[in-house]
Structure 1
Amino acid sequence: MVPRRLQPGDEVRVISPSRSMAILKEKQVDIARNRLEALGFHVTFGKHVHTHDEFFSTSIEERIEDLHTAFLDQNVKGIFTAFL
């Protein structure tokens, strides 16, 4: 299976499957969002990307929810991860 190429106007979802994006400076997130938007993409973020515990992670259930939600959303044409 080969997905189609991303096109300007496509929605791309950013999820954070390992660490919370709360550790990133807002300026870094803005730069990344602006670069993706400059390529013509509509950028959205997973529901739990900023949620964190004392280890700056989210629960496994929250990470799975963001991943499943991104794959199930018919409007999302690409998924980017903030951390691996």
Structure 2
Amino acid sequence: MICVSSETAIEAFFIGKGQTKTKQWKRLHNGQVGNPYDVTLMTYIRNTIHHLDNINNLPYTETELDNSIKIMINILQTP
């Protein structure tokens, strides 16, 4: 089951907080790879962790994970 609405909602939240879509994600559905689409770094990392069966995307780096954490902390600390 694909829950696009939650991804759309969190992406809208990140964009609303000034983030940009800097990564491309390739969705896997019923064994078929979809067209790549732009996502924020945070969503890319979340998708990579949540969809271990999808090997059609490059793994994120430690630097990207560190940057993502720092961005999310900054978002939470900014009113």
TM-score grouping bracket, smaller chain normalisation: 0.3 to 0.5
Q: Which has the higher strand share?
A: 1
* Structure with greater helix share of residues: 2
Please, what TM-score do these two structures have when normalized by structure 2? 0.38
For normalisation by structure 1, the TM-score amounts to 0.36
